[in-house]
Homo-oligomer: A and B are copies of this chain.
Amino acid sequence: MKEGPDIARIASLIGDPARANILTALMAGKALTASELASEAGVTAQTASTHLSRLVSGGLLILRRQGRHKYFALASDEVAKVLEGLMGLAAHGGHLRTRTGPKDRAMKKARVCYNHLAGEMGTRLFDRFVGLGYLDRSGNSLRLSPLGKSVMVDFGIDVDGLAGARAPLCRECLDWSERTSHLAGSLGRSLFSRMVDLGWAKRDPAGRAVIFSAKGEQAFEAFLSAKA
């Protein structure tokens, strides 16, 4: 009778309303921070913290540390499948959450991640920088090449000043909506703030979305289509 895997342990993990809300919020596939999940779940940060650590140690979530943030995501497709199955069982009178409003589309295209550029445009910039040889991604480290440095200087960034600071110059930041990396670090921040200074884009004051002007987007594209 006490045979088999401990499904009660897993099920009771999912069975708490706050944790169920957290898991449901993560069904969208994006990773969210602890604070975001706390507000999704409708509990305080302390409570969410204990829930999240339980979910991680229970194998339902995985954790990515990124600076002073912690990003949580579902651990695997199997987890998502089980949750989907549970939703099916539970859908007697309930309806599925609806997502992907117009705001989400803007967020997906371009948004700030702390103070650097993320979303489609952020990841394209990163990929292109690597392809053009501006960034050198050998081994685990990410470094700015001499070519990349001269391009950045031409763009109006004080690379030497940044390099003197303690903070790392270049860092990869996993972009969860695109499932690939974008550029973080002090260079990433400077790059974005330079774009804002140039009038290419501005931040949505209400959220994390970044709105490029038409001219700004053209300039951005031209910047990326420089020949190697």
Name A residues whose Cβ lies closer than 8 Å to a Cβ of B.
1-17, 19-21, 23-25, 39-42, 57-60, 75, 78-79, 81-83, 85-97, 111, 113-114, 118, 176, 208
- Residue of chain B at shortest CB distance from A79: B89
State whether A59 touches B6 (Cβ < 8 A). Answer: no
State whether B1 touches A8 (Cβ < 8 A). Answer: no
List chain B residues, Cβ under 8 A from A208.
3
- Bound Cα distance A177, B49 (Å): 32
Beyond A7-B86, A11-B14: 19 further Cβ-contacts under 8 Å? A1-B39, A3-B113, A3-B176, A4-B87, A4-B94, A5-B86, A6-B94, A7-B23, A7-B89, A8-B16, A8-B17, A9-B15, A10-B89, A11-B11, A11-B12, A11-B86, A59-B89, A60-B93, A82-B89
- Bound Cα distance A57, B95 (Å): 8
- Bound Cα distance A7, B12 (Å): 11
- Bound Cα distance A23, B4 (Å): 12
> 3 smallest A-B Cβ distances: which pairs?
A59-B93, A12-B15, A5-B90
Please state the number of chain copies in the assembly: 2
Q: For A82, give its contact among B4, B59, B86, B176 (CB under 8 Å).
A: B86
Closest CB of chain B to A114's CB: distance in Å? Answer: 7
- Residue of chain B at shortest CB distance from A75: B93
Q: For A85, give its contact among B9, B82, B94 (CB under 8 Å).
A: B82
Closest CB of chain B to A39's CB: distance in Å? Answer: 7
Closest CB of chain B to A148's CB: distance in Å? Answer: 25
State whether A8 touches B15 (Cβ < 8 A). Answer: yes
State whether B42 touches A10 (Cβ < 8 A). Answer: no
State whether B59 touches A96 (Cβ < 8 A). Answer: no
State whether B94 touches A10 (Cβ < 8 A). Answer: yes
State whether A3 touches B118 (Cβ < 8 A). Answer: yes
- Bound Cα distance A85, B77 (Å): 11
State whether A59 touches B4 (Cβ < 8 A). Answer: no
Closest CB of chain B to A124's CB: distance in Å? Answer: 18
List chain B residues, Cβ under 8 A from A7.
14, 20, 23-24, 83, 86-87, 89-90
List chain B residues, Cβ under 8 A from A6.
20, 90, 94, 97
Q: For A94, give its contact among B9, B89, B111 (CB under 8 Å).
A: B9
